Chains A and B, each alone.
Chain A
Amino acid sequence: MDNLEFLHEIENASGENISTCYQCYKCSNGCPVAAEMDLLPHRIIRHIINGNREKVLGSKSIWMCLQCMTCSVRCPNNIDIAHVINTLRKVSVKLSMEAQKDRWLFDNLFLDSVKTHGRLYELETIMKYKMAKKDILSDTKMGIDMLLKGRMGILPHSIKDRKMLRAIFKKVEDDRPNGW
């Protein structure tokens, strides 16, 4: 087996030239959530190059990334690191290796809402997330304050042609390779 199999897999899936990394550490130095990470961004890249699949795909770091893009715009080798991390999330979920499920859960509920209404229905999405997490009562005070200040819609703002939008979603989902 080619030892570079994992590197090639992630390079192909992301379209990024990961192997050009020379470990300057700029990505990790600028990362606002470095303190939350079990593997710093420059190490994620190095582990990909070294083929350490489990270490990378099972890391908490790939889920703590905020996609703020600081690393991506600073990389001297033009590696869009945030994009690499976003690609790793998809691969990790596909192989059921994800260390943390909250981000994936929330983003999928967000997209379900868009698929149903055409636009995000915040209240419904947040309630569904809280129900899935079995944590309905936290943040009640914050939620009520937001409702009182008119910062949370009670009703959805749906578009008219939802049928057409759902058809578009379905076409994209049907073409997604192996639930990618």
Chain B
Amino acid sequence: MATLTYYPGCSLKTSSRFYDTSIREVFSFYRIGIKELDEWSCCGASAAHTVDETLAHVLAARNIAIAEADDNHVFAPCSACYSRLKITNDKILKDKGLRDKINGYIYPLRCLGTTEIKNIIEVFNEYVGIEKIAKGLSFDLSSIRAVPYYGCMLTRMPKTDVFDDCEDPVSMDKLLWATGMEVLRWPFKMECCGASETITSKHVTASLSGKVMDMARAVGADVIITTCPLCQMNLDLLPHLNRKDNVPVLFLTEVFELAIKGKISGKSAHIIPVEELIKKVVQKSKL
């Protein structure tokens, strides 16, 4: 059984705790072992590099340094955590000057940049694979039309090697296709949700996330699928931002839960209700 060092990040312990639960459910089904990183601290998110770039690298490197001792790949399901850890890891590996500087700050810890940082799409593709996914399903998702929503942070890393295309990524499309869902083509795979403007300029999030929802509905989607806690939260908050007629926004692992068990463990945490969607899947599977 493969074991990954798990970096949950702050969101998966608070606002998106149900994402953590969902990951644990699905990973145990696919026999992917996860060991939560000891004493992990915040990755710095977008705040650290806005205020102080050195601090951003230091906060990410502290976590990577602890993870390096485990000698596993590091799994970061939150897109922002993944992006921050990967950017710092790459820079520390390639730039000796920066490596020495950052290690000076985190001493006695030491970060070499030799581990690999993986997002949740990579983990499913590399540790499970679409063949195994397609073969091991118990529920029929073919009545569900989904739009894959990647968001900004997974593949937009300038001057860094990324795992998928930054304009038209397809890695999550393939996973969803393997679960039997109907995957729709749409132009907003990579559109920004408004990020943390929900707190500082609410109208910006209402407008940007609202457009993502409009487009999902315009192409006839029943559900939006994402891997990013901030994207999920912003879209899920749309009813509170005065937008009606919203389709549910699921985490990728919740799709696997549906396909494997016909239920979603975190359904009560969703603001846009998911019950109808679950019912549709269960009824279709009974036929």
Residue of B nearest to A111 (CB): B47
Chain A residue numbers with a CB within 8 Å of B50 are 67, 86, 89-90, 103-104, 107
From A66, A70, A120, A152, give the contact of B10 (CB < 8 A): A120
* CB-based contact A152/B15 at 8 Å: yes
A169 at the interface (CB under 8 A from B): yes
Point out the residue from A70, A103, A118 that lies within 8 Å of B156, measured CB to CB: A70
- Chain A residue numbers with a CB within 8 Å of B196 are 106
Q: Are A149 and B271 in contact (CB-based, < 8 A)?
A: yes
Question: How would residues 25 to 43 of chain B score, 1 for a CB under 8 Å from any chain A CB and 0 otherwise?
Answer: 0000000000000011110
- Chain A residues with Cβ under 8 A from B197's Cβ? 66
Q: In the complex the two chains form, is B192's CB within 8 Å of A146's CB?
A: no
| Set of chain B residues within 8 Å of A86, measured between Cβ atoms | 49-50, 53
Partner of B14, one of A70, A122, A142, A169: A122
Q: Which residue of B lies closest to A171 (CB)?
A: B105
- Distance, CA A69 to CA B155, complexed state (A): 10
Q: Are B105 and A32 in contact (CB-based, < 8 A)?
A: no
Q: Mark A115-128, 1 if CB is under 8 A from B, else 0.
A: 00011101000100
Please, how many angstroms separate the alpha-carbon atoms of A80 and B53 in the complex?
14
Please choose the segment from B118-126, B199-207, B219-227 that sits at the chain A interface, where 4 or more of its residues have CB less than 8 A away. B199-207
User: Among the interface residues B51, B54, B191, which one has the most CB atoms of the partner chain A within 10 A?
Assistant: B51
Residue in A closest to B240 when the chains form the complex, CB atoms: A142
Contact with B along A134-169 (1 / 0, CB 8 A): 000001011001100111110001011100010011
Contacts of A152 in B (CB 8 A): 14-15
Contact indicator B42/A114 (Cβ below 8 Å): yes
What's the Cα separation between A151 and B233 when bound, in Å? Answer: 9
- For the complex of A and B, the 9 pairs showing the least CB-CB separation, nearest first, are A69-B156, A107-B47, A110-B47, A68-B192, A153-B14, A120-B10, A142-B240, A68-B152, A114-B42
Give residues in A with beta carbon < 8 Å to B: 32-33, 36, 64, 66-70, 72-73, 75, 78, 80, 82-83, 86, 89-90, 102-104, 106-108, 110-111, 114, 118-120, 122, 126, 129, 139, 141-142, 145-146, 149-153, 157, 159-161, 165, 168-169, 171-173, 175-176, 180
